[in-house]
């Protein structure tokens, strides 16, 4: 075999070997387009594309928002000593950002910010989410034990 290939280049040897067997038809799997460059979606991309989030995924998405805005204070941890100052700052900011040609309802602005901040006071928003998640989990476990197969 070695003597047979003497004097041939590697390319010629490769071409000769590759032509011995017939070409096989192979179906290549379709690859999804993804931001990670590998063709397959990452776990977070797959979760975003999923229309049916689990309770845990929903709680995590709420507790760790991608876009932080004024509503994020509800799931934040507001220390009691900064509550009043933060309430004033948020209300003032909202008034300053309002359209000067439109009427401003100060009471609505102050109330909305108070509710947002009071839910986040001492992390109560986070605690409420964790309690709800625990209650749903317990309900599913109880249903499985009773033979209902879960919710």
Percent of the chain at pLDDT > 90 equals 18
71 near 116, Cβ under 8 Å? yes
Q: Does the pTM exceed 0.85?
A: no
Does residue 19 sit within a domain? no
Cβ neighbours of residue 36 under 8 Å, at least 6 residues apart?
42, 45
Does residue 108 sit within a domain? yes
Does residue 146 sit within a domain? yes
Does residue 2 sit within a domain? no
What range does the domain containing 60 cover? 55-151
Q: How many domains are there within the chain?
A: 1
| Candidate ranges 50-54, 103-107, 116-120, 132-136; pick with highest mean pLDDT | 103-107
Does residue 125 sit within a domain? yes
pLDDT digit string, tens, across residues 66-96: 777 777 777 777 888 988 999 999 999 999 9
Q: Which two tokens stand for residue 65?
A: 């928002």
């Amino acid at each position: 075999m070695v003597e047979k290939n003497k004097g041939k280049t590697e390319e010629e040897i490769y071409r000769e070997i590759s032509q011995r067997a017939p070409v096989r038809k192979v179906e290549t799997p379709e690859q999804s387009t993804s931001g990670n460059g590998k063709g397959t979606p990452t776990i977070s991309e797959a979760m975003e594309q999923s229309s049916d989030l689990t309770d845990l995924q929903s709680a995590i998405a709420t507790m760790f928002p991608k876009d932080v805005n004024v509503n994020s204070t509800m799931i934040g941890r507001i220390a009691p000593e900064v509550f009043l100052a933060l309430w004033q700052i948020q209300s003032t900011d909202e008034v300053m950002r309002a359209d000067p040609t439109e009427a401003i309802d100060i009471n609505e602005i102050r109330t909305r910010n108070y509710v947002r901040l009071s839910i986040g006071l001492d992390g109560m928003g986070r605690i409420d989410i964790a309690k709800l998640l625990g209650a749903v989990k317990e309900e599913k476990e109880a249903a499985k034990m009773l033979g209902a197969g879960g919710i």
